Structure formats: structure tokens, C-alpha cells
Structure 1
Amino acid sequence: MADTDMQEPVYKTDALIAQDIDAYLETHQHKTMLRFITCGSVDDGKSTLIGRLLYDSKMIFEDQLAALEADSKRVGTQGQDIDFALLVDGLAAEREQGITIDVAYRFFSTEKRKFIVADTPGHEQYTRNMVTGASTADLAVILIDARKGVLTQTKRHSYLAHLIGIRNIVLAVNKMDLVDYSQAAFDKIVADYREFAHSIGIENFVAMPISGFRGDNITALSDNTPWYRAPEYFGRTLVDHLETVEVDATRDIAKPFRMPVQWVNRPNLDFRGFSGLIAGGRVKPGDPVRVLPSGRTSTIRRIVTMDGDLEEAVAGQSVTLCLADEIDCSRGNVIAVSGNPPQVADQFEATVVWMADDELIPGRAYWLKLGTQMVQATVQAPKYVVNVNTMEHLAAKTLDLNAIGVCELTTDKPIVFEPYTDNRTLGGFILIDRISNATVAAGMLHFSLRRSQNVHWQALDISRKERADLKNQKPAVLWFTGLSGSGKSTIANLVEKRLYRMNRQTFLLDGDNVRHGLNKDLGFTEADRIENIRRVGEVARLMTDAGLIVITAFISPFRAERELVRSMMEEGEFIEVFIDTPLSVAEERDVKGLYAKARSGDLKNFTGIDSPYEMPVNPEIRIDTTQMAPEEAADLIVNMLLGDIM
């Protein structure tokens, strides 16, 4: 070729390069976002599929690829094949076991759309992690191993995805290479899944045969499945579907305006705003709004952001709202459109997915977190639990790990809510153990119970302070706790006698005495013990409202219930008195012969023998009865009581 035939290379100027970069960033910025999850039974190939998507979308750096190839050889992958699961299974335990334990979030992008994918665990033990990943997803890819078919965990994950509100379902029959790309095997799995899906309300889903390991039908239609191109099949790749599936991004914007208040923004005396993420609808300056649960009304004065004031804000945006009026509003309140506000109630029916190894204790108080609201809640025994294999409603007294049940629950104060089907933010909640702070359940509110709307607090003209002033004392609860035979009742009786001689108005609630009347219907199971203490706590609270000094003597073996009673009282009114007596000493006393019966097996659920006692961590008063006589202990308690409250 002559030199004159050679073309001069064309070099772009810095300005042209900058224009290309700006054009790319502009295009990338306006891509839609799809959040989806991969789920199914253990070892169905979820991590491998995501790794393949990251690899094929060129979202892996060269050093990552080199490390991936080295790791693949180290864990035993043959030849040049790459173990794509290693891109996602980041925990050492996952790599060793070949399973996903935690939820792994990954970002990738194609020419048409951006994606955030959550690789959720398949092992039954980690179903709670799958619920976490599904809570923000728009689409679920349900993977099935072509060799195994539809399994129990496949059904559980499908049911949970549908329950949480995911309406876009992809049934990805994976590992087709291991069944020789059999059309018959694929058709049977799809038929089995369709029968189950219809039973739980999934009317439509997209089925496709894939191999995450070999890449069949992931980014390009595979020659190994020519039958998949027939009209009766979907006939598209997984990436094609993910890029084009319609996600109704405007569904929340079309709803009535709601914004849970996350933070009261008060940088100086001249500015007061309420910050949060808009959970539904749209809002503009001048719009009338209502603050719940108080019901106070105002109008929007400004919508403030870091980039300046807005003329309008919509669902999904984080903003600070300034109101035209100085009304009480704090974290946990909800600012809503005035003419169509959400509901306020304290008793509900809900679906509860239990996530803890320890089973639900009906009647025990848990923290309930809904949006930015945090209240105490008690859950009743389930109305029924759902068998995910048959969709039967089965009777149950409690919920254990991974159980899905419909229950009634009660909160200690009214909360702002909407049914989960209307608003995920104001209808979805978690339950938190009050002692360990571990999340034990996730739930979806259905509706408020009618009785919660029929019962209202009656305002009284005489206040608790006026009642106490009339008695010339401050109300208090002396809560004696300890093993049976520790001396609680003896010391509590001596304390009341001393206070009586000092003209203090008191009442003594004894554990045995209340079981003759108020709590005669309760036994000694863990649930009954919890209900026993809850009722006594309510009675004690009413007595402090009357201005009395209340003395209680109950074993009250569980910290959670003692803390529940503490939370019912005014600050500083609950005084925990731990009668600290070793079990051996309590058994020696055994004036009622209860320990002997428990040791022989004639008395079940006896504290200290076959039922636990959780000692107080930081009681206000601790009495060691091996070092102090009852009379001396009573004097000490009275002196400390009067010194604290008088």
C-alpha cells in the first residue's frame, strides 16, 4: 500500500473528549433504576447468576478479574472456567460452604438501565435475610435448579416476595446444562410452579431456561435451547427482560401525600423545619397539611433542600418542610395531606414473619418500629400460621423460626399507619427484642381492629398530681423481685407496716394474693407469667394515678416484663428491689414445700428449677438476705424510698 493511501489517525481534542464524557454522564444520569432480588433454595445458583451479570456487563475491573480467576482455580474450578459466585459470596464462611449467608448488594449498568441486585440467602436458616433484601425490590428472580424442581424454600421465597408486594416475578430455571437443555424438564418445572403460584395469588410470571455458569439466555439467546424461540415461550434473554420490564415508578407519587418526620431541623432560632423522606404523593408550598397523631393543621411555607427551595416535592425525595404555623411536631410524627390523612390506631391485625431462633412469646412486649415511629407492642397468639407447601391455615400457639402467621397486636400508644398494600412505609414494621435489641420479626399491617376506634381515653378533671398532693406524698412503685422463698413477701410486708406508721398511704400487691382473684385464670407457663405481670403492672399504674405508694412482691422472672412495667410509670417512680437470695438458701427455707415438688417433677415450670430467672442488671435497691435480716432490710428500703421521692 502506498504511503498516500494511508489515513492519518484522528485524535480528539480535549474539548471533544469532554463533550463525550458529558454526553455519557447525561445519558447515564437519566437511566431508570431497577431494584431486584435473586432468591430460591440453597445452591440454586443465585450468586453465580449475579456474577455472570456483572461479568457480562463489564462491571469487573482487571485486578478483580485476575483475583477471580486465581480464586476459581484455588477452589477447584477446572480449565479456564470462572466461578462467578465468588464475585458475590464475600464472606469467608460463604466461600467455604458454597452458600450465601448475608444479603449481598451489587450495582451494575447496561446501555438501557441501572440495576441494584440483592443476592439473598437460600438456606432456610437465613430466610430473614431474604425478607430484608425483598423489602425494597421491584422484581424477584426466583431460581430453580433444573435437576431438583420446585422445593419448599422456592415456595417460601415466592410467597414472601408476593406478600411483601413484588408483582414482577421471573422464574429462572437454572443449570439447564446439567439436564442436557431438556425442554420436557423445563416444561414440567414451569407447570408445577404455575400451579403453586396461582394458589398464592401470583397470576403472571415470566419463565426462562438459563445457565448462569455457561451464560445460556443471560445476555444472548442460546443455541442450546432452540425450542425456547417458539411463540409459546417468552423467547427473550434475562437481561432483555430486566432492561425493558415496566416498573411503575409513579405509583407512590399518585398516592396521597405522607412524610414521616425523621428529624426536627433547628440550626438556629430563625429556622425550624421537619426533615424526612416523602413516602407518598406530592407537596407544594401553600398545601394544607395535618400533623399526626395530634391532628394539628397548618400549611406548607417552604420546601428546603441542600440545592435550594423547591416548588414541588414528590415521593422518594428527602426534603425539609417548613410550616406556616408553630405547631408541635417531632420525630415519629407524620405530616400528611389535610383532607385525606392516614389512620391512627393502637390495635391491629398483621402478618408476621418470625425471624428469631427463640419463638414468639405471646403477650411479651417488643419494640415495634414502623417508619420513624418506635413504640412498645405485644403480639397475641397467632390466629393461624401458613403452611407454604399447601397454603393451609394451621392452628398454632406461637411462631418459631421462619414461621408466617396472622396475629393481632397492640401498641402502648396510637401510631400513624396505612395498610401495607397501600403504603409500604406506613404499613411495614419490624419487631425488636427489648433486651438484646435483635430484630426478631418483620410484619405487614392489614387493618386496625374496630375496638381500637371505639375506645377513647377519657380526660379527668382531677389530676394524678392533685391526688398525690392531697395525700402529701409522691406516688411510687416498689417492685420486689426474687426467687420463691427469697423473702420478698416478708420484707414487703415489713416495709408497708413502717410506711403505715409514718402516715403514708400504701397498697401491697402480693403474687399469691392476686392469683386468687384478678389472675386466677392464669397458669405458670411463660406466656401466663408474662400476662400475670402485665396485669399487675396496669393495676400498679392505676394506683400511682391515685397517688398511692404501691408495693409489689412477685417473682417476675423475666427482665423484659419488669422493664415493661417500668415503662408504664412516670420517670423515677419505678424502684426495682432485688431480693438477692441464692437458690440453695431459698430451697432450704422452702416453707411452702414448692421446691421439693418441683424437684420431684410434681410441679412444672417452677422458677429456678425448670423455668429461668433473669436477675436484674441494675436494680435501684439490692438486698442480700444472707447478710441482712428482714427488719434491717425494711429499714434500709424505707429510708432510701423516702430520701428519693420526698
Structure 2
Amino acid sequence: MSIQENNQLLRFTTAGSVDDGKSTLIGRLLYDSKSIFEDQIEAVKTSSEKKGFDYVDLSLLTDGLKSEREQGITIDVAYRYFATPKRKFIIADTPGHTQYTRNMVTGASTANLAIILVDARKGLLEQTYRHSFIASLLKIPHVVVCVNKMDLVDYSEEVYNKIVADYEAFSSKLDIKDVQFVPISALKGDNVVERSENMPWYEGSTLLYHLEHVHIASDFNHIDCRFPVQMVIRPHTLGFQDFRGYAGRIDGGIFKPGDEVKVLPSGFSSKIKSIELNGEPISEAYAPMSVTMTLEDEIDISRGDMIVRPNNQPAVEQDLEVMVCWMNQKSLQTRTKLIIKHTTKECQAMVKDIQYKVDVNTLHRIEDISEIGMNDIARVSIRTAQPVFIDPYRKNRMTGSVILIDPNTNETVGAGMII
């Protein structure tokens, strides 16, 4: 499997304000890319007629939960899958309201790309700024700003250009490398899958063409070699007594048989003997492949250890500076005890200090606080009971992220990015 083949899966998240057409856009992508069964289309047509619409309400394809439909809003993160001949896609459809910031963080944490919807009639709203800030915080490499409902502003180029200028001025303050703009009408289908005849002034690509062709192979860190061991494989069957394999997902770099490696935390060195994918030997492995590795020497390795290059090692730390999105109704306070999960390692931890909270609407810091509540994003100092092997989140989204767990309930209560 080459890096090019691995390029075939794009994970993207959609974010926007209430009623800006997010569900309709996803429905349009699924419908126009022929990713829906006939009976689903028939059911949506029937529902649309019952509601008295003279068009097919494609938002019904994605708003699966009855309670949401009755309120006309999308609540949780819904994952959708579709494919075209060029690529496979996973969509994380996340809600737009402030009280669901944690849902957006969950949906966006693994995304290569974020689609941010802007209603052409309303322009940039508070939610646009907030979603862009979260996309920047989560280091999503690619952002597409879809200016939707262009049919309701007579496909005006001036309206579109003003929104583009406003967004560019705002996003220059954020850490987003690649921003593209597409004027669309999700309801009518303009520039979603098919080019629009109503906007001859727009010379860029359609949304689907961009999703199919955006370059994502370099989104992973292919320089710093990181292999957290998830499981030690020691089959006790005849003929396999000497086999000792280390299974896990590569979180960075490229590994090949014959490479010199070092094991953390022990510091022992060895060489890679073989790498297997689905039981077949392969000549190289890279993020985010899940493989089994064998080493030439017998070293005591267990779950939570990390295989790295001797001359390129992560920081080994017990004091972490983390931007945390708090996800629990019970607020987080200093000296709170937690379990921290980092790659395949779990250990006890304690919150030493809450430095500041971010107002996600204005990007201002709120200091001198003693606790943070649900959906808050804050910079927190955490002390771990054992050393963890970390990279800054901006360098590696895998080895730079942590999950915080309540030791009493085993609930996930926070997600964090190491600074």
C-alpha cells in the first residue's frame, strides 16, 4: 500500500450555524454522487410531499433522529460514508450551537478538512468565527468556506466577494494554512457536484471536485518516527514459539525492515526485523497504518511503550501544558485527579493549574479562574504519574493529543492538545 493509495480516504467535518443548510448540503453530496439507495430516495420524496414541499428535502437524508427533526436541528455527531471513483469519504456532521462545542471537537479531531458554511444573506456570524477558531485549534489542515444559499441573493458576485474578503481578514489571525471558497446553493445543487450555470463569474472548482483532489498525503507527519505499542503478540502455537511481534498504529514517520530503533522508556536499541500488514510482509510502513513489527533482539516491551528512531525522539515529560476542551457537566477544578490516555498509554494525572480560558467568540483570554465548565476551552497544566512520550500537537496530531477520563465513572471528560 503506497502513500498514494492511503490518500484515498478523506475525513471531513461540516460546521455552521443553525439553519444554514448543512444537512441539505450533505444530502446533496450523497444524492448527486449517487450514494443513496432507491428506497431511501423514495422515502425522502414521500416525506417532502407530506410536508407540502414542491422540492425534495435532502436534509431528511442526514437528520436521522426523530427528536432532532421535530426541532429542526441536528444534535449529536453523525458519521456518514460515501464514495466516488476517486476517493472514499467519512463525514462528521457536527452541530452548530455553542452548547455543543464538545461535539464539534469530537467530530473534527480526526478530520483532514473542515467545511464551514456561511449563509450568503447573513454573512459571517459569531458561530463562523467560533468554528474557524476550533478548526484552527485542532490544526485541521484544509478549510473550505461554502457560501451557501446563493440562489437567495440572485447569485450575486458582490455578495460572495464581500464574504470572502471578510473571512480572509479574520482568518489571517488564525493558524489555518489552506482556505478555499466555493459559492453554492445546496438546495438547487449549484457548484456542489455539478458546475453552476447561474454563476459564470466563478471560475474555481465545484465542492466535490475539490474534496476529491485536495492533497492530503502530507497531512500526516512522515518525518518523526513514532510507533506506540498497543499489544505484544506471542502466539503459543507449534512453530511460533519464538515469535514476538508488536502491534499498533504508526503515529508518525516511515519505518522499514533494517532500520535502527530505540524503545521508550527503557532506552534499549535494536533493528526492525520485519513489518507485517494483515499477515503479509511489507517493505515500509507509515502513518496511519496499523501493523505488526518484529525486532532482531529480545527486549522487554509492553503496551504503552513507544518505538522511535535513536536520533529523533519525542519529549519524555510528566508536566504537560494542554489546551483542553472540557466535556463533562461537572466542572474541572485545580487538583482534580484524572486518568490521562495518550496514544496507547494510560496513567493517573492531576490538574496543577488552570491558566486561562478562551472566549471562543472573541478569542480573548479570561484569566484568574479556578474552574472550567462544560464546552469551555482552556489552557491547563497537568502532572502525570508516569512519563509520557509527547510531541507538540502542531507537529503531530496523534502524539500531541490526550483524552482525560474520570477515574470514578470511567467517562471521557475532556480532550486535549499538547502545547
- Normalised by the length of structure 1, the TM-score is 0.61
Return closer, same or farther for 1:225/1:294 CA change in 2, 3 Å cut-off.
same
Q: How many Å apart are 1:227 and its aligned residue?
A: 3.5
Match of 1:344 in 2: 316
- The answer on 1:121 being equivalent to 2:95 is yes
CA contact (8 A) 2:141 2:219 kept: no
2:354 maps to which of 371, 374, 382 = 382
Task: For 1:261 and 1:227, locate their aligned partners in 2 and report how far apart those are by CA, in whole Å.
Answer: 53
Q: Are positions 1:62 and 2:38 aligned together? A: yes
In the TM superposition, residue 72 of structure 1 has moved relative to its aligned partner by 2.3
Take 1:133 and 1:340, find their aligned partners in 2: how far apart are those partners? 31
Q: Which of 398, 405, 424 matches 2:371?
A: 398
Distance 1:314 1:228, change over 3 A: closer
Bigger RCO (CA 8 Å, 6+ sep): 2
List runs of 5+ in structure 1 lacking aligned partners: 1-28, 230-234, 447-646
1:515-526 to structure 2, matched below 5 A, reads none
Partner amino acid, structure 2, of 1:266: R
The Cα shift of 1:30 comes to 8.5
Residue 619 of structure 1: aligned partner = none
Percent of residue pairs bearing the same amino acid type? 51
Secondary structure at 2:76's aligned position in 1?
coil
Indicate how the Cα distance of structure 1 residues 371 and 30 shifts in structure 2: closer, same or farther if over 3 A, else same: closer
Match of 2:278 in 1: 306
| 2:190 paired with 1:216 | yes
- Where structure 2 has 5 or more consecutive residues not aligned to the other structure, the ranges are none
Give the match for residue 498 of structure 1.
none
**Amino acid aligned to 1:85:** S
C-alpha separation in 2, matches of 1:274 and 1:385: 40
Partner residue in 2 for 1:242:
211
The correspondence for 1:192, drawn from 166, 180, 183, is 166
Mapped contact 1:381–1:398 kept (Cα < 8 A): no
2:149 to 163, 175, 187: 175
- Check whether the contact 2:354–2:381 (CA below 8 A) recurs between aligned residues: yes
Q: Does residue 78 of the first structure (1) align with residue 47 of the second (2)?
A: no
3-state SS of the aligned residue for 1:188?
helix
Counting matched residue pairs gives 410
Residue aligning to 1:10: none
- Structure 1 residue 171: deviation in Å? 0.8
Query: What one-letter code is carried by the residue in structure 2 that aligns with 1:129?
Result: N
Rg: which structure is higher?
A: 1
CA RMSD of aligned residues (A): 2.0
Whole-angstrom CA distance in 2 between matches of 1:431 and 1:158: 24
- Give 1 or 2: higher helix fraction: 1
Amino acid at match of 1:243: E
8 A contact 1:253–1:282 mirrored in 2 = no
Q: Going by fraction, where is strand more abundant, 1 or 2?
A: 2
Matches within 5 A, 1:280-319: 280-319=252-291
| Cα distance change on mapping 1:228 and 1:310 into 2, 3 Å | closer
The counterpart of 2:222, out of the listed 254, 259, 262, is 254
The answer to whether the 8 A contact 1:200-1:391 is kept is no
CA distance in 2, matches of 1:293, 1:89: 47
Distance 1:338 1:31, change over 3 A: closer
**Residue 389 and residue 305 in structure 1: after superposition, are their counterparts in 2 closer, same or farther (change >3 A)?**
closer
- Tell me which amino acid in the other structure corresponds to 1:70: T
**Equivalent of 1:439, from 409, 412, 416?**
412
Query: Once the 2 structures are TM-superposed, how far is the Cα of residue 240 of structure 1 from its aligned partner?
Result: 2.1
* Counterpart Cα distance in 2 of 1:89 and 1:117: 13
Corresponding position of 1:494: none
Paired position in structure 2 for 1:112: 86
The residue number in structure 2 matching 1:139 is: 113
Matched position secondary structure for 2:335: coil
Q: Which amino acid aligns with 1:261?
A: V
2:135 maps to: 161
C-alpha distance in 2 between matches for 1:91 and 1:381: 40
Contact map agreement 1:428 1:442 (CA 8 A) in 2: yes
Any conservation in 1 of the 2:353–2:382 contact (CA below 8 Å)?
A: no
Range with bigger deviation, 213-222 or 341-350: 213-222
Deviations 1:477-506 (A, max 9, x none): xxxxxxxxxxxxxxxxxxxxxxxxxxxxxx
TM-score by length of 2: 0.92
Residue 302 of structure 2: aligned partner: 330
Work out the CA distance in 1 between the residues paired with 2:390 and 2:381.
Answer: 15
- Residue 172 of structure 2 aligns to a residue whose secondary structure is helix
Corresponding residue to 1:416 among 389, 396, 404: 389
Aligned-residue offset at 1:411:
0.7
Contact map agreement 2:260 2:269 (CA 8 A) in 1: yes
Aligned equivalents of 2:282, 2:404: Cα separation in 1: 36
Report matched runs for 1:625-636 at 5 Å.
none
Name 1:363's counterpart in structure 2: 335
Q: What is the one-letter code of the residue matched to 1:106?
A: R
Q: Secondary structure at the match of 1:304?
A: strand
| Residue of structure 2 aligned with 1:47, choices 8, 11, 23 | 23
Cα 1:285/1:204, change in 2 over 3 Å: closer
Contact 2:140 2:176 in 1 (8 A): no
Give the whole-Å Cα distance in 1 for the aligned partners of 2:155 and 2:370.
Answer: 46
> 1 CA distance for matches of 2:168 and 2:101?
22
